[in-house]
Amino acid sequence: MTDTTSTTSTTTTAPSAATKGDGLARAYRPSDVEGAIYERWLAADVFAPDGAGSRARADAESFTIIQPPPNITGSLHLGHAQRAAVEDLMIRHARMTGRAALFLPGLDHASIAAQFVLDRILAEEGESRQSLGRERYLERMQEFVTTTREVILGQERRLGASLDWDRLRYTMDDGSAKAVRVAFKTLYDRELAYRSEALVNWCPGCRTSVSDLEVISSPETGTLWSIRYHLIDDATGEPLPDETVTVATTRPETILGDTAVAVHPDDDRYRTIVGRRVRIPFVERDVPVIADDVVDPAFGTGAVKITPAHDHDDHETGKRHGLPMPTILDDAAAIAATGTAYDGLDRYVARDAILADLAARGDLAGEQPHELVLGRCDRSNDVVEPRLKTQWFIRTGPLAAAALAATRSGAVRIVPDRFDKTWEHWLTNIRDWNVSRQLWWGHRIPAWYCPDGHVTVSSEIDGPAGCDVCGRPAAELRQDPDIFDTWFSSGLWPFSTLGWPDETADLRRFYPTSVLETGWEIIFFWVARMVMLGIELTGRPPFHTISLSGLIRDPLGKKMSKTKGNVVDPLAVMEEAGADALRFALIHGATAGMDQRFGPQKLELARNFANKLWNAARFVLGARPAELAADAPRTTAPESDLGPTERWIRSRAAATVEAVDRGLAEYQFGEITRALHDGIWSEFCDWGIELAKVRLADETVPPAQRAATWSTLVDALDTYLRLLHPVMPFVTEAIWAEVPRRPGDPELLIVASWPASEGRDTTSDARIGEIVDTIVALRNARAQASIPAGAWLETHLAPPADAFDAFEELAPAIGRLARARPLSLHRQAAGLARPAGALEVVLPAGDIEATIVPPAASDDTIGRDRARLERELVEAEGHLGAARARLGNASFTEKAPPAVVAGARRREAELSDQVARLRERLGR
């Protein structure tokens, strides 16, 4: 069914190519068409803005989306699929508007996440990072990502993402490596990157430091132990058995690193001991009692042990008081270098041992359950330990200020805007960013140290020639063994992918990019850092709009996770329902910044919709009037041949264009699918096609008018296909191949032009509205009276006086759609035939009445009909009462806008008329 003869040219416009003639298959099977169509797009080279098949003008404004690069270690989940669907939607729309649309694909090496995954695989094989060593470990990683890479790229193709594959990038490729080096060197030269010893978050499981963002606060119940420290006798220098100060701690093992006890300066209980010394047990170290505001006298005993190397508060206190800062934990969080018997014990084993020993000494004063907040590693869930390390940091203050300025000035807009507050809060409280990781898989930090301790940062691929300070040759320099936080290379992504730091043509043309679309959960990890680094390094924010989507949850609202087993595989879904259905379902549920639940019902809605479109297209294409030659080029019907039906169809399509445009402009993606679903199904299929059918089948309608009806249907189908293409690219492209084209239309829908909304009449023909209401009312009366659905019944209809001609013209349609035959029209309701037992129909608006004559009026039928009229009367009277109350309120008529008041009066008139007519019909 798809055209396979011409896959290279997309600009052929010859009329002979107007139809393919193969027709659409009777049944719609997505899997039959989707793969072949993606191949056609690839062959036609339409994805790249500068591809052979592109219809973007050379000077066209660019529209760029750099794909948020999925982690190379996994496969795509529904969240990826949703983002890709939304991004592809925007790109396809931009492409159809003639812009130079670039959708650049990429992959992220995902340093720590990848190591975590590989480490687990290695563990199953009885190997480990340590057993392999750095070189073999990295080789193994390369092997691993080579296979996963293909899985991901295949999934994106299957989804129909129109990514420019020739521009595929990877955060570990040479271009990214260069960008990382140059970015770091630039930041260093500007004193925005510095090396310093600081307390960092250490994950003992991952054996690396992690950033503040990667530490997850976890409320847990622990124990608060009270421990007695003995004061020192100034005379003897020995601890006093009976003079103690009691401190409280949740981590008793850290007493090995204590270098002070702190109390509040105004705390009378401890005023006398400030300045004295206490002995720390086991390490037998004498440390001072200091006074500091940080201590809350009301908490615990009011005396706090200070461990400057392993606690953030204590570290600050230690700095203020010039305290020593002994480190007591090694990389695995075992006790180390304390000179005690605990050395070599795991932190928790040591904790128990220390508690037992304290108790034995009589210095454990008490314990109580305690609610505390533990920091756990985002990746491994290990409890993170604060630890002193010399690391590289990015000075975020100035960068954050610039990022804030960008959102405040409107240069960068966040959708939805309520995230502005979150953005502001985070960026105004941001701390310097630790970018050193003690991992192997990633970009090595381009800093070299000479034996004298001088630091040389180089952006050269081979490193520096020598020490920047003392000139020692490179051979004597040692490169920092650490790598960068994976988000450092991610932060450069919008420009590193376009060639930065080189002034490439792509960078000039496509940077700054247009929209960043991603989940709100990585707004700090990634989005904020791209904005900060983009502004600092390129002078411009990397995109003008941040569109935030939500999480895809399971039907119960639970987060999807492998351990819960509720993960939905996009590939399986696409096999079952098609990529189009998946895309539609995901976009349909998208409300900016909100999570959505995803289940089979949503997918079914989408699949059914694709099927509906397919069948509507089959009908339209098959309904070509015989007078029109099969290969005749498509023409626009002259205005004079259009009737109410045609004008209505046209106006509804135009209204859908407007609605879709609005959704796009406001990043309200769910509104787009809603407008299309309604427009195509409830308007075009339910009424447009049904009304047109009657005219097309009517031999008495002049051929020119029948041709006009058909071409109106084709025009509308054409418009809907274009509008729907960004959402459901495959089915629309497949149908497009069969739709006769206008001169200038390309062979492939993907590069067809977007429907213009200007100059279209979106005001629907009011007459059709009345006729639709009439048909519905007739059907209703029949169904309520239990008339068999298929029965053709004699019907008498009195249309509104001023609409008689329109009703007369559409009488065949009314007759068919309401199964009214014979149907007679009467100029006045008074003249309506009212045989005994006829069903009475009274429309609320427009002075429309009808009677339906059942073949044999039973009491039952009559009773049901009267009951329906009674219900309608009660309802109408209720509304009438409300309308009169409103109009009776003087302040309403005085203060409400005249149009609203006029509307209320009209409504009141209609209702009172309807009530009167209903009463009359009921014989009251």
Partner RNA sequence: GGGCGAUUGGCUCAGUGGUUAGAGCACGCGGUUCACAUCCGCGGGGUCACUGGUUCGAAUCCAGUAUCGCCCACCA
Could you say which residues in the range 657-686 bind RNA, by CB under 7 A? 668, 670-671, 674, 677, 681-682, 685-686
> 91 and 101 in contact (C-beta within 8 Å)?
yes
Q: Which residues contact 194 (CB under 8 A, 6 or more apart)?
A: 188, 392, 393, 395
Nearer to RNA by Cβ, of 89 and 577: the residue is 577
Nearer to RNA by Cβ, of 102 and 880: the residue is 880
One of 19, 28, 443, 728 touching RNA (CB under 7 A) = 28
> 90 and 65 in contact (C-beta within 8 Å)?
yes
> Strands 260-263 and 208-210: what pairing?
unpaired
> What whole-number distance in Å separates Cα of residue 210 and Cα of residue 917?
78
Tokens matching residue 246: 């009691």
> What whole-number distance in Å separates Cα of residue 184 and Cα of residue 463?
13
Is the alpha carbon torsion for 493, 496, 498, 501 positive or negative? Answer: positive
- Cα-atom radius of gyration of the chain, to the nearest Å? 37
**Shortest separation between residue 712's beta carbon and RNA, angstroms:** 15
**Shortest separation between residue 302's beta carbon and RNA, angstroms:** 6
**Shortest separation between residue 372's beta carbon and RNA, angstroms:** 4
Nearer to RNA by Cβ, of 97 and 226: the residue is 226
Question: Of 867, 852, 879, 836, nearest to 777 (Cα)?
Answer: 852
Residue 784 interacts with RNA (CB under 7 A)? yes
- Binding mask 591-630 toward RNA (x if CB under 7 A, else -) reads x--x-xx---xx-xx-xx-xxx--xx-xx--xx-------
Is the alpha carbon torsion for 712, 717, 722, 723 positive or negative? Answer: positive
865-924 residues near RNA, rule: CB under 7 A: 879, 882-883, 889, 891-892, 895-897, 900, 903-904, 906-907, 910
> 69 and 106 in contact (C-beta within 8 Å)?
yes
**Chain CA centroid to CA 290, Å:** 52
The letter for the amino acid at 341 is A
**Shortest separation between residue 327's beta carbon and RNA, angstroms:** 17
Q: Using alpha carbons only, what angle is made at residue 77 by residues 71 and 81, rounded to the nearest 5 degrees? A: 95
Element (H, E) at 814: helix 811-817
Residue 2 interacts with RNA (CB under 7 A)? no
**Shortest separation between residue 332's beta carbon and RNA, angstroms:** 22
**Shortest separation between residue 577's beta carbon and RNA, angstroms:** 8
428-447 residues near RNA, rule: CB under 7 A: 429
CA dihedral of residues 341, 347, 350, 356 (deg, nearest 10): 150
**Shortest separation between residue 585's beta carbon and RNA, angstroms:** 10
Nearer to RNA by Cβ, of 27 and 836: the residue is 27
> 518 and 68 in contact (C-beta within 8 Å)?
yes
What are φ and ψ of residue 43, in 5° steps? -65, -35
How far the first Cα of the chain sits from its last, in Å, is 63
Residue 294 interacts with RNA (CB under 7 A)? yes
**Shortest separation between residue 431's beta carbon and RNA, angstroms:** 8
Residue 384 interacts with RNA (CB under 7 A)? no
User: Which range, of 170-178, 495-503, 734-742, 784-792, touches RNA by CB under 7 A?
Assistant: 784-792
Q: Using alpha carbons only, what angle is made at residue 493 by residues 491 and 496, rounded to the nearest 5 degrees? A: 120
Please give the C-alpha separations between residue 829 and each of 48, 699, 821, 921, in angstroms, as whole numbers.
64, 30, 19, 11
Residue 589 interacts with RNA (CB under 7 A)? yes
Query: Peptide bond before 822: cis, by omega within 30 degrees of 0?
Result: yes
User: Which range, of 74-82, 107-115, 293-301, 393-401, touches RNA by CB under 7 A?
Assistant: 293-301
> 745 and 13 in contact (C-beta within 8 Å)?
yes
Nearer to RNA by Cβ, of 210 and 247: the residue is 247
513-542 residues near RNA, rule: CB under 7 A: 521, 524
> Residue count at the site for RNA (CB under 7 A)?
96
One of 173, 658, 690, 913 touching RNA (CB under 7 A) = 690
Nearer to RNA by Cβ, of 499 and 679: the residue is 679
One of 372, 470, 630, 867 touching RNA (CB under 7 A) = 372
Nearer to RNA by Cβ, of 418 and 827: the residue is 418
Please give the C-alpha separations between residue 14 and each of 19, 98, 393, 628, in angstroms, as whole numbers.
10, 21, 63, 18
**Shortest separation between residue 111's beta carbon and RNA, angstroms:** 19
**Shortest separation between residue 625's beta carbon and RNA, angstroms:** 13
Residue 788 interacts with RNA (CB under 7 A)? yes
User: Which range, of 139-147, 274-282, 288-296, 327-335, touches RNA by CB under 7 A?
Assistant: 288-296
**Shortest separation between residue 681's beta carbon and RNA, angstroms:** 6
- Binding mask 455-494 toward RNA (x if CB under 7 A, else -) reads ----------------------------------------
**Shortest separation between residue 299's beta carbon and RNA, angstroms:** 3
**Shortest separation between residue 776's beta carbon and RNA, angstroms:** 4
**Shortest separation between residue 838's beta carbon and RNA, angstroms:** 18
> What whole-number distance in Å separates Cα of residue 922 and Cα of residue 920?
5
Q: Which residues contact 519 (CB under 8 A, 6 or more apart)?
A: 79, 83, 548, 549, 550, 551
Q: Which residues contact 924 (CB under 8 A, 6 or more apart)?
A: none
Strand ranges inside 16-125, DSSP E: 62-66, 100-104, 106-107
Residue 421 interacts with RNA (CB under 7 A)? yes
Strand ranges inside 512-622, DSSP E: 513-519, 543-549, 552-553, 596-597
One of 88, 156, 253, 311 touching RNA (CB under 7 A) = 311
Residue 29 interacts with RNA (CB under 7 A)? yes
Place of tokens 């750095």: 134
Nearer to RNA by Cβ, of 454 and 618: the residue is 618
User: Which range, of 39-47, 66-74, 298-306, 855-863, touches RNA by CB under 7 A?
Assistant: 298-306
> What whole-number distance in Å separates Cα of residue 353 and Cα of residue 357?
6
Nearer to RNA by Cβ, of 101 and 335: the residue is 335
**Shortest separation between residue 321's beta carbon and RNA, angstroms:** 15
**Shortest separation between residue 561's beta carbon and RNA, angstroms:** 12
Nearer to RNA by Cβ, of 426 and 449: the residue is 426
- Axis-axis angle for helices 111-124, 129-159 (nearest 10): 120
User: Which range, of 303-311, 451-459, 728-736, 830-838, touches RNA by CB under 7 A?
Assistant: 303-311
> What whole-number distance in Å separates Cα of residue 675 and Cα of residue 657?
9
> What whole-number distance in Å separates Cα of residue 75 and Cα of residue 781?
56
119-178 residues near RNA, rule: CB under 7 A: none
Please give the C-alpha separations between residue 519 and each of 74, 491, 591, 814, in angstroms, as whole numbers.
17, 16, 12, 50
- Binding mask 244-263 toward RNA (x if CB under 7 A, else -) reads ---xxxxx------------
User: Which range, of 61-69, 128-136, 289-297, 531-539, touches RNA by CB under 7 A?
Assistant: 289-297
Give the up-direction half-sphere exposure of residue 387: CA atoms within 13 A in the CB hemisphere.
Answer: 24
**Shortest separation between residue 90's beta carbon and RNA, angstroms:** 18
Nearer to RNA by Cβ, of 141 and 528: the residue is 528
One of 5, 16, 130, 217 touching RNA (CB under 7 A) = 217
> 720 and 736 in contact (C-beta within 8 Å)?
no
179-198 residues near RNA, rule: CB under 7 A: none
Residue 299 interacts with RNA (CB under 7 A)? yes
Nearer to RNA by Cβ, of 475 and 556: the residue is 556
Residue 383 interacts with RNA (CB under 7 A)? no
Tokens matching residue 597: 């639940």
